[in-house]
Amino acid sequence: MKKFLLATALTGLGAMTAQAASHSEMVKVGIILGFTGPLETLAPAMADSGEMALAEVNEAGGILDGMMAEAVRGDGTCADAAAATAAAERLVTSDGVSAILGAMCSGATGAVLTNVSLPNGILQISPSATSPGLSSIEDNGLFFRMAPSDARQGEVMAEIIMERGIDEVAVTYTNNDYGSGLASSFQQAFEAAGGSVTLSASHEDGKADYSAEVGSLASAGGDALVVIGYVDQGGSGVIQAALDTGAFETFVLPDGMIGTALENNFGSDIDGSFGQNPSVENERGDEFLAMAEAAGFDGTSVYAKEAYDSMALILLSMAAAGSTNGADAAAKVMELANAPGEKIYAGELAKAIELIAAGTDIDYVGASSVELIEPGEASGGYAEMEMKNGKLEAIGYR
C-alpha cells in the first residue's frame, strides 16, 4: 500500500512538472465573453475573430522566439458580474492565462478588472465595453478597450437624431451600467443640442411582456423611441410591444440593438429606424471580411473586428515588451496602436512581429482602424445604420 501511494504521488509530481514545462512554452490568453446571456448571439463571432488573430500569430511562428499562444474561453454572461469574476478567476488561477480579452459588457468588464486583472497584474483589453464609468476606473494602466466610451456615442446619437429633424424623443434603457450610462450621456447631449427627452425610463431584461413600459412611454410621447437595450433581450420585447400598440413607429438603435437578430425579429416592420454602432471606415476592411468568411464566421457581426484587434494588440504588445508580464505589455499598447510607424492592417500580423523584432515602430490599424486616446480607449468612430427593406445598412461614417 505504501509503495502504491508513493508511486501515485511520484506519477502526480511527474505530471505536474511536465505540465509546468509545457506552460513555459505557451502563452495563454483568456477570452471572457457573454457566451450565454443578453448578447449571446454576438459572442461566438467575437471569440472566433479573436482566435483567428491568435492563429495568425501562431502561423507566423509565435511571439518571443517561438512561444505559441493559446486561447482559453470563459463565459462572462454579460449580465452577471459575479459569474464573470468567477470565470476570470478560474482562467487566471487554474489555466494560468497571461492576459484577458474581455469582458463583453461594461458591468462584467469593470468587475473582472477590479477583482482579477488588477490584483494579478495582468493586461486586459475589452473589445466592447462602452460605459463612461470605465474611463475613470482605477486600472494601473492595465486596461484598454477597443470600443469608445458611451459619452461619445451619446453625442453621436444626439447628432444623428437632430439631423433627421426629430427634436422630441422618449428613451428606454436596460437597467444596468451600459444602459443608464448611455441614457444619461445621450440625454445630456440631446438637450444641449436643443432637443427634449419626454421620458427616460428603464426596463428589466427577461420579462414576458413590456406593454406596461411601452404604455408609459407612449403617454409621454415623442417622435421616436430610443431603445438602449439588448437585441436578444428586453430591447426586442420593447420594440415588439411598441409596434403592437402602435405607440412608436421609428426607433433609434444604439450598438446593443444592432444585430442580425433585429432583422430576423422585425424585418421591414421597422423600416426607417436608424442608429449607430462603433465602426470606422477602413480602406482595407474587405480583407478582414474575406478572412472571416474563410474562417467560417460573419465578420460584419458587431464587435467582431474589435475582438480581432484586441487579441492582436495583446500578443503584439507582449512581443514588443519582450515579456508576458502584464505591466510591461500594457506599457506598449498605446505606442503600438497609434502613429507614428508603419501601418499594420488585419492579416499582416506576421509582418508586424517581424518589424517589432527588428525594432521598427508600427502603427496598428487592424480591422477596426484602431486609434486609442487616453485613458486607453478608442477615439470613437461610428457607422450610421438604417433599416431599409428589412436589412440594416451602413449609410455613412462619422
Given the complex with other proteins, which of 269 and 361 has the nearer CB atom? Answer: 269
84: cell is: 464573470
Q: Which residue, 199 or 295, is less far from other proteins as judged by CB?
A: 199
Which strand (E) or helix (H) includes residue 264?
A: helix 260-266
Minimum CB separation of residue 363 from other proteins in Å reads 43
Phi, psi torsion values for 19, nearest 5 degrees = -65, -45
What is the bridge-based pairing of β-strands 274-278 and 382-388?
Answer: antiparallel
Residues 79, 77: Cα–Cα separation, whole Å: 6
196 binds other proteins (CB under 8 A): no
Return the residues of window 237-276 that contact other proteins according to CB under 8 A.
237, 244-246
> With contacts defined by CB under 8 A, how many residues of the chain interact with other proteins?
22
CB closer to other proteins out of 152 and 203: 203
Residues 6+ apart with CB under 8 A from 282: 288, 345, 365, 367, 368, 369
Stretch that binds other proteins, among 5-13, 143-151, 161-169, 218-226 (CB under 8 A): 218-226
Which 3 state secondary structure label does DSSP give 292?
Answer: helix
DSSP-derived 3-state class of residue 362: strand
Q: How far is the CB of 212 from other proteins (least distance, A)?
A: 4
Least distance between other proteins and beta carbon 269 (Å): 10
CB of 6 to other proteins, least distance (A): 45
Cβ of residue 318: shortest distance to other proteins, in angstroms? Answer: 38
Q: Work out how close the CB of 196 gets to other proteins at its nearest, in angstroms, rounded to a whole number.
A: 13
Phi, psi of 105, deg, nearest 5: -100, 160
Contact in structure between 256 and 228 (CB atoms under 8 Å): yes
**Among the candidate windows 41-49, 96-104, 178-186, 212-220, which touches other proteins by CB under 8 A?**
212-220
Identity of the residue, 33 or 370, whose beta carbon is nearer to other proteins in the bound complex: 33
At 241, list the grid cell. 410591444
How far apart are the two ends of the chain, measured CA to CA in Å?
74
User: Which of 202, 260, 300, 325 touches other proteins by CB under 8 A?
Assistant: 202
- Residue 215 near other proteins by CB under 8 A: yes
Give the closest residue to 378 by CA, choosing from 108, 153, 52: 153
Q: Which residues bind other proteins (CB under 8 A)?
A: 199, 201-204, 206-209, 211-213, 215-216, 218-221, 237, 244-246
